[in-house]
Chain A
Amino acid sequence: MAKTLGILGRKVGMTRIFGNDGSVVPVTVIDAGPCPIMQIKKTDKEGYNALQVAYGTIPDRKSNKPMLGHQAKAGKGSFRHQREFPLESVEGYEIGQELTVDIFKPGEKVKVTGQSRGKGFQGVMKRHNFRGKPASHGVEKVHRSPGSIGSNTEPSRVFKGKKMGGHMGDRRVTIMNVEVVDVRPEDNLILVKGQVPGAANGLVMIRKS
């Protein structure tokens, strides 16, 4: 995976904007940054190069003592979220420096990562797009069932990874090649084309691709 820089943000919601050619573009608005660099990890000390950045200001009383000590190094107050961005080289960055939406330009393709909405325990039709069974023609009580899940005596077991019902959603999802439609540094907003994983107000990571 390419090691690229990114920032953290909060999904605001979706709307639409009119393009230059009169087309209507669906966009997701993300309130991103400014993200101060909390820690710089280097190969000789931590074994890899990375920037730890923070987002989401909270009052100092909501941080515990270990976090207060860690955050004091950057001197930017307390934050709800910290994430790392592994990089090839961390030259030129310093602790306390703020990353803003400026690092992105309209037209650029980015990766957006978020925690998808939890759907709870779901059957195979919703979870894996199985077809289920007919509504009539003698089918009873099994309209949404998966049907056969394997062979008989040989192999006399169900293979691992067989698609079945279970918990759906609430996992980390990354969408690649998301187009940046607009960047508004004055409001710390970034507008990307299409949908982004997660509910409104959820934490999202935007990375260069």
Chain B
Amino acid sequence: MNAILKNIEAEQMRVDIPMVKAGDTVKVHLRIIEGEKERIQVFQGVVIRVHRGGVGSTFTVRKVSDGVGVERVFPFHSPYIERVDVVSEGKVRRSRLYYLRELKGKASRIKSKQIWE
């Protein structure tokens, strides 16, 4: 990419967001502005897709809320993300976990990766 564009993108990129991977369970803390007030909303779920593209990188988080599947796409570098906590790293064999959409309940669980201290 052009060096000028790279600089413009680099100054907007955030280095504090962890490198999430498909299969990770994450908590996304979002800043929500309602009129004057600002509050934090947490969206917890499984990362089913990571889209790389410089400052336009996004990740998709899926959760099942009251039996309804909800997916949200978050830009990695958005200033509206307060922080992202990785709850657990998942053991998965592909990078796009779209098959989770067909599964529910016990079948849709993802094994967590063993982390050796």
Residues of A at under 8 Å CB distance from B? 12-18, 21-22, 24, 29, 31, 187, 189, 191, 200
Residues of B within 8 A of A31 (CB): 4
B78 and A13 contact, CB distance less than 8 A: no
Listed A/B pairs (7) with beta-carbon separation below 8 Å: A15-B55, A16-B56, A17-B12, A18-B77, A22-B78, A24-B75, A189-B8
A29 and B75 contact, CB distance less than 8 A: no
Residue count of chain B within 8 Å CB distance of chain A: 17
Within 8 A of A (CB), among B67-105: 75, 77-80
B5 and A15 contact, CB distance less than 8 A: yes
Within 8 A of A (CB), among B42-72: 54-56
A12 and B2 contact, CB distance less than 8 A: yes
10 closest A-B pairs by CB: A22-B80, A12-B4, A13-B5, A15-B5, A13-B2, A18-B79, A15-B9, A16-B56, A15-B8, A12-B2
B8 and A17 contact, CB distance less than 8 A: yes
User: Bound complex: CA of A15 vs CA of B55, how far in Å?
Assistant: 8
User: Bound complex: CA of A29 vs CA of B4, how far in Å?
Assistant: 9
Residues of A within 8 A of B54 (CB): 15
B77 and A29 contact, CB distance less than 8 A: no
Could you tell me the distance in whole angstroms from the C-beta of B74 to the nearest C-beta in chain A?
11
Residues of A within 8 A of B80 (CB): 22
B55 and A16 contact, CB distance less than 8 A: yes
User: Bound complex: CA of A31 vs CA of B9, how far in Å?
Assistant: 16
Closest Cβ neighbor of A182 among chain B residues: B8
Residues of B within 8 A of A17 (CB): 8, 12, 55
A189 and B4 contact, CB distance less than 8 A: yes
Residues of B within 8 A of A24 (CB): 56, 75, 78
| Residue picked from B2, B31, B33, B75, most chain A C-beta under 10 Å | B2
Residues of B within 8 A of A191 (CB): 8
Residues of B within 8 A of A189 (CB): 4, 8
Could you tell me the distance in whole angstroms from the C-beta of B19 to the nearest C-beta in chain A?
20
A29 and B5 contact, CB distance less than 8 A: yes
Could you tell me the distance in whole angstroms from the C-beta of A200 to the nearest C-beta in chain B?
7
User: Bound complex: CA of A191 vs CA of B77, how far in Å?
Assistant: 19
Given contacts A18-B78, A18-B79, A24-B75, contact A187 B4 (CB under 8 A): yes
User: Bound complex: CA of A189 vs CA of B2, how far in Å?
Assistant: 14
B12 and A18 contact, CB distance less than 8 A: yes
Closest Cβ neighbor of A22 among chain B residues: B80
A29 and B79 contact, CB distance less than 8 A: no
Residues of B within 8 A of A15 (CB): 5, 8-9, 54-55
User: Bound complex: CA of A21 vs CA of B33, how far in Å?
Assistant: 9
Closest Cβ neighbor of A26 among chain B residues: B56
| Residue picked from A18, A21, A29, A189, most chain B C-beta under 10 Å | A18
